[in-house]
């Protein structure tokens, strides 16, 4: 073999080895990319493709007549990107030509800043030496679609992003057309994340929020466009039992009385007797400026009910045969000593009460005597009866944060006397109303109902019916006696705590609708009962002969003089009159004019 041939073969061998080595390197690199570094580079690809979710439109919430209580509407933020090449040409000739007119238009349309402020911020962005400063959020507030259309008509902005540097970000905002009405019960969502945080919004979030889709930004015909990969599935609609007009009636009456008493908070619940449907729920807290807004849902949180519990105590004693309606109880204005506890009446008298008079006058002494004597000092028997009436049964009250009743057997012999008139027991206003609604409903206790249907695209996917918790809360004769007592609370002008004041001001009495119910006053427990602050309430039903609605009003820590019949009774009376007028049942006289509301 010649020397030249050897050299040629050697050079080919070297080339072959080099090619083989390069192939091995490429092969190994492919294996590494497909295994070890796969996740890293896939994330880079996803970032380059700019995958983004398509937000599903949250479902609406309606009242029982189809009026919107909560809905999602598109709102927008406006951004300015001064890095756009068109704004930099010829030393920014286009930018300087239009900056004044754009600032003037933005101030006029949005109104969140003056023309000078807009101009100053736009110029500062233009002169910024970093990307963060060159790209800025121009509006401090979200704007509506109507405002966005007006902004897009402004000079230069009408030419689009690549000519002006202006672009919008679409956001879904939750809007309540009736503003604060039932705000805490309907619920709220977090502005930034869109997650539900309270009320029905939170309870039915899985239905309302829908399912997000996915989009990707791709270059189409030389332009970057967002292409949907998975379409969003919009949320379902919630059809509630609320009536926006009745909600307005309840909130207006409550707000007026809270402003008069300057109380810390108050709540009202209106319930349909036959179905258990909640027609209105209002909760108002006093703010620092003495205005009232929906802050917390007090109506579903348990607390010591005070004298509204006397009806429950008497029902237990009557039903167990511990007392009869024709019995009488003697009371002393100096009080009654039970073991080491002295029990006093809010309206002290030296007298002998009938059962009806004792309830009308809301005598602590009388009810304490009935329960302690009837149950032989054994609180266990009394508590067992209360549980047997279904008072402590676990009930799903729909609203997040709602608490169950708390009635435990005490460890001492004195507490049973306090339990008789509403201390050392806890019920929420909603639970108290549920019990009284059962009295109005011939002994049939209904579960509070907030939502009637869940619909998607107009089609019902789930419905909720009225639910009976207890068909017979007590014997018929017991129920009859209890109703007589609740009548006297309002209509017995000698003893009734919700009848009239000494200066002849009517409390729960009305010429238009007959109301029956019970007042309640509880001293607020705050590191004991030494603060002398009180929580007032009135719970009842109307019209008395054929009850259609039950209602409770609670006013917490009023300033100055307090009277549960005067303050809470008046609220329920106003609600009853306006509710029945709204239903077309009565004729109301206002300022010498007759207002007839037809059915």
pLDDT of residue 488: 97
**CA pair distance 184, 180, nearest whole angstrom:** 8
Asked if residue 5 belongs to a domain, the reply is: no
pLDDT digits (tens, 9 = 90+) for 373-390: 999 768 899 999 999 888
pLDDT of residue 226: 62
What's the predicted TM-score (pTM) here? 0.82
Which among 217, 240, 263 is the end of a domain? 240
Q: What is the CATH number for 172?
A: 3.90.1310.10
Return phi, psi of residue 269, to 5°: -130, 135
pLDDT of residue 599: 40
Asked if residue 155 belongs to a domain, the reply is: no
Q: Using alpha carbons only, what angle is made at residue 428 by residues 367 and 450, rounded to the nearest 5 degrees? A: 135
Tokens of 237: 């609609």
pLDDT digits (tens, 9 = 90+) for 348-368: 999 999 999 999 999 999 999
pLDDT digits (tens, 9 = 90+) for 106-127: 999 998 899 999 999 999 988 8
Tell me: pLDDT of 417 over 80. yes
Query: pLDDT above 70 covers what percent of the chain?
Result: 91
Categorize the per-residue pLDDT at 218 as very low, low, confident or very high, splitting at 50, 70 and 90: low
Same structural domain for residues 476 and 522? Answer: yes
Range of the domain at 497: 244-596
Same structural domain for residues 392 and 251? Answer: yes
Q: Using alpha carbons only, what angle is made at residue 347 by residues 342 and 353, rounded to the nearest 5 degrees? A: 85
Which among 222, 240, 258 is the end of a domain? 240
In terms of C-beta distances under 8 Å and separation of at least 24 residues, what long-range contacts does 418-421 make, across chains too? 418/341, 418/368, 419/309, 419/313, 419/371, 419/379, 419/382, 420/309, 420/310, 420/313, 420/364, 420/367, 420/368, 420/370, 420/371, 420/372, 421/306, 421/307, 421/309, 421/310, 421/313, 421/364, 421/367, 421/368
Least confident interval from 18-32, 83-97, 209-223, 573-587: 209-223
Least confident interval from 165-169, 504-508, 545-549, 593-597: 593-597
Same structural domain for residues 473 and 345? Answer: yes
Asked if residue 357 belongs to a domain, the reply is: yes
Same structural domain for residues 175 and 252? Answer: no
Same structural domain for residues 393 and 408? Answer: yes
**CA pair distance 88, 111, nearest whole angstrom:** 28
Same structural domain for residues 174 and 297? Answer: no
Same structural domain for residues 362 and 224? Answer: no
Asked if residue 540 belongs to a domain, the reply is: yes
Which among 209, 240, 271 is the end of a domain? 240
pLDDT digits (tens, 9 = 90+) for 511-551: 999 999 999 999 998 776 667 799 999 999 999 999 999 99
pLDDT digits (tens, 9 = 90+) for 20-45: 788 787 877 778 777 777 766 666 55
Q: What is the CATH number for 395?
A: 3.40.710.10
pLDDT digits (tens, 9 = 90+) for 472-502: 999 999 999 999 999 999 999 999 999 998 8
Instruction: Report which of residues 8 and 48 the model is more confident about.
Output: 8
Same structural domain for residues 100 and 77? Answer: yes
Asked if residue 131 belongs to a domain, the reply is: no
Number of structural domains the chain divides into: 2
């Amino acid at each position: 073999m010649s020397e030249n041939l050897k050299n040629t073969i050697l050079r080919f061998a070297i080339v072959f080895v080099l090619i083989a080595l390069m192939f091995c390197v490429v092969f190994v690199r492919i294996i590494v990319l497909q295994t070890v570094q796969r996740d890293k580079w896939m994330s880079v690809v996803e970032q380059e493709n700019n995958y983004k979710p398509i937000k599903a439109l949250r479902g609406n919430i309606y009242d029982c007549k189809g009026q919107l209580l909560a809905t999602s509407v598109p709102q927008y933020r406006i951004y300015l990107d001064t890095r756009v090449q068109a704004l930099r040409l010829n030393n920014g000739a286009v930018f300087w030509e239009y900056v004044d007119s754009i600032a003037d238009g933005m101030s006029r349309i949005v109104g969140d800043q003056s023309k000078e402020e807009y101009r100053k911020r736009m110029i500062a962005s233009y002169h910024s030496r970093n990307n963060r400063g060159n790209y800025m959020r121009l509006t401090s507030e979200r704007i509506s679609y109507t405002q966005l259309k007006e902004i897009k008509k402004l000079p230069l902005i009408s030419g689009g992003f690549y000519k002006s540097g202006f672009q919008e970000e679409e956001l879904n905002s939750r809007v309540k057309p009736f503003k604060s009405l039932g705000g805490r019960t309907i619920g709220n969502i977090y502005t930034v994340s869109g997650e539900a945080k309270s009320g029905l919004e939170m309870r039915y979030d899985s239905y309302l929020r829908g399912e997000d889709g996915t989009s990707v930004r791709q270059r189409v015909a030389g332009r970057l466009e967002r292409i949907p990969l998975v379409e969003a599935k919009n949320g379902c609609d919630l059809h509630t039992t609320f009536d926006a007009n009745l909600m307005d009636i309840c909130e207006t009456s409550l707000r007026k009385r809270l402003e008069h008493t300057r109380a810390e908070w108050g709540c009202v619940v209106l319930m349909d007797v036959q179905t258990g449907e909640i027609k209105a729920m209002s909760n108002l807290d006093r703010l620092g400026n003495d205005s009232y807004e929906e802050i917390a849902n007090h109506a579903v949180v348990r607390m010591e009910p005070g004298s509204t519990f006397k009806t429950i105590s008497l029902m237990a004693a009557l039903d167990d045969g511990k007392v009869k309606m024709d019995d009488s109880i003697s009371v002393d204005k100096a009080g009654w000593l039970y073991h080491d506890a002295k029990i006093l009446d809010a309206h002290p008298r030296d007298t002998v009460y009938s059962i009806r008079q004792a309830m009308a006058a809301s005598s602590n002494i009388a009810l304490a005597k009935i329960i302690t004597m009837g149950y032989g000092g054994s609180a266990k028997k009394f508590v067992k009866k209360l549980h047997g009436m279904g008072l402590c049964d676990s009930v799903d009250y729909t609203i997040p944060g709602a608490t169950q009743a708390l009635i435990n057997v005490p460890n001492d012999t004195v507490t049973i006397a306090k339990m008789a008139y509403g201390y050392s027991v806890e019920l929420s206003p909603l639970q108290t109303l549920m019990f009284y609604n059962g009295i109005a409903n011939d002994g049939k206790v209904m579960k509070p109902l907030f939502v009637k249907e869940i619909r998607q695209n107009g089609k019902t996917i789930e419905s909720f019916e009225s639910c009976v918790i207890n068909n017979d809360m007590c014997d018929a004769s017991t129920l009859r006696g209890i109703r007589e007592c609740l009548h006297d609370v309002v209509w017995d002008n000698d003893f009734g705590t919700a009848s009239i004041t000494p200066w002849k001001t009517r409390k729960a009495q009305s010429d238009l609708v007959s109301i029956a119910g019970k007042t309640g006053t509880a001293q607020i427990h705050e590191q004991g009962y030494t603060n002398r602050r009180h929580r007032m309430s009135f719970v009842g039903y109307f019209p008395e002969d054929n009850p259609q609605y039950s209602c409770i009003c609670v006013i917490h820590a009023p300033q100055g003089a307090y009277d549960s019949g005067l303050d809470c009774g008046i609220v329920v009376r106003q609600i009853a009159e306006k509710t029945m007028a709204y239903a077309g049942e009565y004729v109301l006289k206002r300022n010498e004019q007759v207002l007839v509301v037809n059915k």
